[in-house]
Amino acid sequence: MYTFTDKVVLVTGSASGIGKAIANEYAKLGAKVVLNNLVETPDVLEFAEELKQRGTDVSFVAADVSKRDDVHKMKEHIENTYGTLDILVNNVGASLIKKPFAEISDEEWDLHSDVNLKSVYLVTQEMLPLLKSSENSSIVNLCSSVIRNGGIIGGSAYTAAKGGVDALTRALAKELAADNIRVNGVSPGLVDSNFHAVNVEERYPHLIQEIPLKRVGKPEDLAGAVLFFSSPHASYVTGEVLEVGGGARLK
């Protein structure tokens, strides 16, 4: 149904979880994949080697996507290696601290903004010249279901930052349409990934019972939505944010 043969794809935060699943699906469908992680780890190198053994043109760049210099170096790597970029998936995100709003420090607030929102700003801005050099490029931002439901109590800093990603997705869709760059978002619901420091099935049974499909999402569930948005099948879709949460928004 889909093919991404010879398309150059950057997936930020692709060493594990949702990002890894997204990168893996692009690789299966012929893309040239640029992996990214904060640091070089045995796991990400093993994943890159696995993709190479399967015939994927893959490279890895260690970069802190909340730092301009790191992101610029990643852009130079892609430019020097491939000369262009067809698809950007801004996947990096984290809910790092849970505490009452009144107790959040400036540093904690800024940290959530840097990881979740500033990273999208920096990576997208740096990659724009490469995306513009592609005939039909696409950006997919990972948002969150918290932009609709407000998130959990104690997660306001994360929720606010993800709300910014949602708004930026729509703003960029308007602005970049003139460059034939489509911008969409995917909002995960409750997903079993390393985003959570706990076993989600054990920790959140009450939430699972409220999901119409009665199960926790898998990283691969998100990958399908991301691939759709960046495929020719979505060539007339931009500025949309799709929630992938097992029907949770129906409640």
CB atoms closer than 10 angstroms to residue 238: 21
| Contact predicate 104/157, CB 8 Å | yes
- Cα–Cα distance, 162 to 47 (Å, whole number): 28
Q: Comparing C-alpha atoms, which of 227, 11, 12 is closest to residue 119? A: 12
What amino acid positions are annotated as catalytic residues? 158
